[in-house]
Amino acid sequence: MKVLAATLATLLLLATCSPAAGHLDGVPNKCCFTYQKKPIPQRLVSSVFDTSSSCSQPGVIVVTLKKRELCADPREKWVQE
């Protein structure tokens, strides 16, 4: 029984110290999968940034004054303005 407990403890320790978490560095933090359809009034916008080039589709993330993050299609005219 002690051998089993020691083996399980060792496996658990190895799993938590695994370098697999380092592989997450290449995963983009924020991507857009759907777009906001209606234009967002500029007076409500705090900041804007592009999604990572490693995302499956392009996107612009619009952060509102209330800290909401909304995705917009960068090809839309209202987003380009």
Express each pLDDT in 54-75 by its tens digit.
Answer: 899 999 999 999 999 999 999 9
8-24, pLDDT tens digit by residue?
Answer: 666 555 565 555 555 45
Task: Tell whether pTM > 0.85.
Answer: no
Q: Other C-beta atoms within 10 Å of 45: how many?
A: 13
Note whether 71 and 61 are within 8 A (CB).
Answer: yes
Q: What number of other Cβ atoms are within 10 A of residue 60's Cβ?
A: 20
Structural domains in the chain plus CATH codes: 2-80 (2.40.50.40)
Q: What is the overall mean pLDDT for the chain?
A: 81
Gap between the Cα atoms of 31 and 14, Å rounded: 32
